[in-house]
Structure 1
Amino acid sequence: MTTLRKWIAAAVIAVAPCTAMAEDLTIGMPIEPVMDPHYFWSSKYLQYYRHYLGFLVTLDLDAQVSPALAESWEAAEDGWTFKLRPDVRFSDGSSVDAEDVVASYERARNYPQAAGSYAGLFNNVDDIVAVDANTVRLETSSPYPSLGFAMTQVPIIPSEIAKSAEQADFNDIATSVSAGPYKLASYLAGQNIVLERNPDYWGEPAKFDNVTLRILPENSARMAALLAGDVDVIGEVPPEFVDRIRENEALEVHAGPSMRTVYLVVDQASEDTTPFATDMDGAPLSQNPFADKRVREALSLAIDREAIRDRVMNGLSFPTGQLVAKGVGGYSDDIAIPPYDPEKAKALLAEAGYPNGFKTKIHCTNDRYVNDGKICQALGQMFSRIGVLTEVETLPSSAFFPIVNQHPSGASMLLLAWSSAGSGEADVLAQTLRTYDADEKKGVWNLASYSNPELDALIARYETTIDKDERWALAREAMQLAVEDFAQIPIHDQSVIVGTRRDIEYKTTPEELTTAISVQ
């Protein structure tokens, strides 16, 4: 992959050489884990799983697909074949074989109670077959060039567990059987996960005897723990805390590029109604204002992306007008950052039939993206200035996603983000903008209920084109169409910011994972 971004001087922070390596490591983690590895597809939880669970293939620290449980693979127009390493065992002593992969993948793509489904990763996959004990084949209805990237996201567990376990079963650590560098030693909900080196790991032995992942969702609590020396590493350092770490001689900041773009989603499920839009007196509107492209454009023009970068993100974000970061396949140099033009926004609202504006609500997480709650507060103020009086409701992820992750969404406006780490290219198009189809599991993350047959056709051509240059050209064309229709409203690309003790050498990853594996 090409370099994601040339960092401006303020974002390039030197890494101190490693002078010591403790036998134990403690990391302050920003979110409570979901112990069931197939319940919610998210890098927030993947950073836990990468420590102790097995993966067919994985992403290295430079976001390149690398061998893991599979030592080799072959891609063809009708599917991918993976050869497993021989004689690999789970931490319970059982062998890792093709049946474990099949059962894990079937569970991940068909989990009916999933709050954040993996199903979209299996688009075009017709069948998952154990050819023999060490060979797995994913048969596809059409070429799937990025399938190798996609499979870096899905954990592998023993087939007996995959076929029978319920979500609650994973609260017992005996259910989380390891095929990774560490294995689970203990789990205290709301407090920590303790890992110990897995002596049966197939690869290079883990660096640490023990790793404690302390659950510290509050930014100030993670920062205080680092300052006090209670933890060695903290993830997701808020930009406003960066200077405090820089000024402390015992600590170091490590920053790097992210593959995650933050964007606004507005409900387009129906022209007739949307859950949280009223006139100025609070009466429901007879039409959904967000179904009108002029209203969506007005919202984009109301966003001062540079102000969000400077005042909310402490300079550590990158305003954008598209849904992938620079360097990701499908990024277009021809798409400009939208201007800030509140007067034009007001004119567009009037033209669309809302000269006096209207009221609405934006739903946001407060524990998922960097400064997500603060971004939403800023958006609420910006929208209100053009006459769209916006109530802001920020929620923990556990409460937010049950509301919005449905078809149609239970919200009128919401803040989301997408990381391209599952493909290395613009899979955001297929996952979040293709017309939702429950039977074919397409558009699973299309929470706007956006539908555009022309875009669907471009996406179908893009994701089945083998030649990379041709495929990415189609992605750029599709991105241009989506942007011109204001299908979603991009805001900025995130940075990855990690704080550590000064004697720790740490490599950030575009995947945004905070792990012991990143300690060099």
Structure 2
Amino acid sequence: MNREDMSRLDDYRLNEAGPLENDLVDELADGAMDREDFIRRATVLGLSMSVIGAALGAYGSSPAFAAPASIAQVGGRLRLGCTPPPEGKLDPHLYVNTGQQVTGSVTGEFLVHATRSLALLPELALSWKPNARATVWTYKLRPGVKFQNGQPFTADDVVATFKRLTDPKSGSQALSAFKGVLSPSGVRKINNLTVQFRLDGPNASFPYLTSSTTYQAILLPADYKVGTFEKTPQTTGAFRLVGYTPGVGAKYERNPGWWGGKASLDGVDATYFSEDSAIVSALLGNQIDLINQINVVTGRALLNSPRVKIFPARGAPHRQICMRVDAKNELKDPRVRRAIALTLDRPGIVKTLFNNLGQPGNDSPFAPVYPSTDKSVPQRKKDIPAARALMAAAGVPNGFEATLTTERVQEIPDYAVLVQNACREIGVKLNLKIETDSAYYGKAQPGQS
């Protein structure tokens, strides 16, 4: 135990910390969580790097963050490959697909940056702190930041951005994430560099919703006009979007007024690819330098190439197939849906689709990486007898026929085929209908997709 770190930590706990922060440090001291979990949860609560380092030092762990091994080379342009291409408009609050996310994130910034391990670091917010019940979160903003059009970044811009994200009339694609958590009236300006979020109820994970994990939450000027994102550089990031051709690519130049100083690159040239095989060939053929993601099934050549560096991330991305339960069909019965879930060989799916570079899911979008995940829930396994019993209880012992509609993104079509084959064991015949993103989501409104 380091005495200096302990003294610094004691001072923080006595004079600054609230009950949430003190409970967190107690869990670390008791050995109830490991170093990675502590860092992730501490950054969510807004503990400073010095306090995190003191806590880890006091209880025998290594430093929280290591210094970089080397300085990146300055200059040159990055050739970025992106799949799939953006679908629809580039207005951040309307983002629904990965192409839009990548295109916006090169130029846009968030209040908080989420690392690959889902620790949260300051970006346009310097700090964030909850009240004792985690119903009110106060954010201190970074001073001296300007938008690429020269306007200063202030609390007014944060308020306008989050009111847009939480307004049901705006078409916001982040609305489902904020529903029941934050209402438009809960976003308030305290002063030019302080914003307060008054939540609909307690939420200890709220900073994630203001981070890069909510990819629609790019900060924009208060007077932002919908439909102008690709026409006028107006974000705060290191690169300005200066050219965009739908389905083809985007061009970015270094932002000379970036608050973070001079960016390492002169610019970024993004090329869009509709087919996984094409982006794999382009990377192997040295036509591009970096791609945003790979489909393991079509990208095995990359996994086996000594010239390609794969950056794995422990996170929450997952593949899912949605079944309509709002119509008169057998899938409306939860027993039928549970029966289908029990036909799946989850380890086999992970091996086939992801070359074992993943974890079996448990029918929940809450990945193990999140502290809020209930890890006591038993892992669901393949159980055909139990599945058949559920089918009989639902009144369809001999199965049924249905259409399963899903999207042509990453491994999802191959996943749908595996589900289709698995369902045959309980007499369910699924006819697959695979659609593009734009056809599948439509206007992302009930009855229009």
TM-score by length of 2: 0.75
Alignment match of 1:39 (pick from 94, 97, 100): 94
Question: Considering only CA atoms, is the larger Rg found in Structure 1 or Structure 2?
Answer: 2
**Matched position secondary structure for 1:74:** strand
Residue 194 (structure 2) pairs with residue 135 (structure 1): yes
Distance in 2 between residues matched to 1:383 and 1:351, nearest whole Å: 17
Aligned residue runs from structure 1 range 51-130, under 5 A: 51-76=106-131, 77=133, 78-110=135-167, 112=169, 114=171, 116-118=173-175, 120-121=177-178, 123-125=180-182, 126-130=185-189
- When residues 342 and 18 of structure 1 are mapped into structure 2, their CA distance, relative to the original with a 3 A threshold, is farther
**Matched position secondary structure for 1:348:** helix
Q: Is the 8 A contact 2:96 2:173 kept in 1?
A: yes
For structure 2, the residue ranges without an aligned partner over 5 or more in a row are 1-33, 38-68
Distance in 1 between residues matched to 2:237 and 2:115, nearest whole Å: 14
**Matched position secondary structure for 1:310:** helix
Distance in 1 between residues matched to 2:421 and 2:317, nearest whole Å: 24
Match of 1:450 in 2: none
Q: Is the 8 A contact 2:247 2:272 kept in 1?
A: yes
Aligned residue runs from structure 1 range 159-198, under 5 A: 159-161=222-224, 165-166=225-226, 168-170=227-229, 172-174=230-232, 176-198=233-255
Query: Normalized per residue, which structure has more strand?
Result: 1
Amino acid at match of 1:385: E
Alignment match of 1:334 (pick from 376, 384, 402): 376
Q: Which has the higher contact order (CA 8 A, sep 6+)?
A: 1
| C-alpha displacement of 1:122 | 5.8
- When residues 144 and 159 of structure 1 are mapped into structure 2, their CA distance, relative to the original with a 3 A threshold, is same
Residue 214 (structure 2) pairs with residue 157 (structure 1): no
| C-alpha displacement of 1:238 | 1.7
For structure 1, the residue ranges without an aligned partner over 5 or more in a row are 5-15, 275-287, 412-520
Q: Is the 8 A contact 2:403 2:432 kept in 1?
A: yes
Residue 229 (structure 2) pairs with residue 229 (structure 1): no
Percent identical across equivalent pairs? 24
Match of 1:214 in 2: 271
| C-alpha displacement of 1:186 | 0.8
| C-alpha displacement of 1:61 | 4.1
Amino acid at match of 1:128: V
- Between stretches 343-352 and 63-72, larger displacement belongs to 343-352
Distance in 2 between residues matched to 1:332 and 1:224, nearest whole Å: 41
- When residues 22 and 315 of structure 1 are mapped into structure 2, their CA distance, relative to the original with a 3 A threshold, is farther
| C-alpha displacement of 1:406 | 4.5
**Matched position secondary structure for 1:159:** coil
Q: Is the 8 A contact 1:358 1:388 kept in 2?
A: yes
**Matched position secondary structure for 2:166:** helix
Residue by residue over 1:319-367, the C-alpha shift from the partner in whole angstroms, topping out at 9 and shown as x without a partner, is: 2325232232133343333222334423432232112311111121112
Aligned residue runs from structure 1 range 391-402, under 5 A: 391-402=431-442
Match of 1:366 in 2: 408
RMSD: 2.8
- When residues 19 and 245 of structure 1 are mapped into structure 2, their CA distance, relative to the original with a 3 A threshold, is farther
Distance in 1 between residues matched to 2:196 and 2:150, nearest whole Å: 25
| C-alpha displacement of 1:32 | 2.0
Distance in 1 between residues matched to 2:378 and 2:99, nearest whole Å: 30
Distance in 1 between residues matched to 2:73 and 2:286, nearest whole Å: 15
